[in-house]
Amino acid sequence: MEDRQSRPRRSGGHGSGGNRRRRVCRFCADATLKLDYKDAQSLRYFISERGKIVPRRISGTCAKHQRQVCQAVKRARNIALMPFTSPK
């Protein structure tokens, strides 16, 4: 019983710090940027090297614009502007 109390407590997280700066959505910050499914070059930023859509926490977009990104990528894939999988 005493042994448990004398052990140091572990933190619950990964220990990567807590003073991270909040990333601002690039579409909210700059109103001139528009998402367009026909602009496959700008959509490549939101695609991983495996061909998957990058999640919000990595891309830094807000929920509203992440939904628009997903919709634009899916439209671009359907009309063959972007591949469904990554080229090998």
Query: 28: domain CATH number?
Result: 4.10.640.10
Q: pLDDT tens digit string along 14-28?
A: 666 666 677 789 999
Least Cα distance to 25 among 48, 70, 58 occurs for 58
| Residue 32 lies inside a defined structural domain of this protein | yes
With contact defined as beta carbons under 8 Å apart, do 79 and 43 qualify?
no
> Between 58 and 88, whose confidence is greater?
58
pTM assigned to the model: 0.73
| Residue 1 lies inside a defined structural domain of this protein | no
With contact defined as beta carbons under 8 Å apart, do 73 and 43 qualify?
yes
With contact defined as beta carbons under 8 Å apart, do 74 and 82 qualify?
no
| Residue 15 lies inside a defined structural domain of this protein | no
At residue 58 the predicted structure's pLDDT band, cuts being 50, 70 and 90, is very high
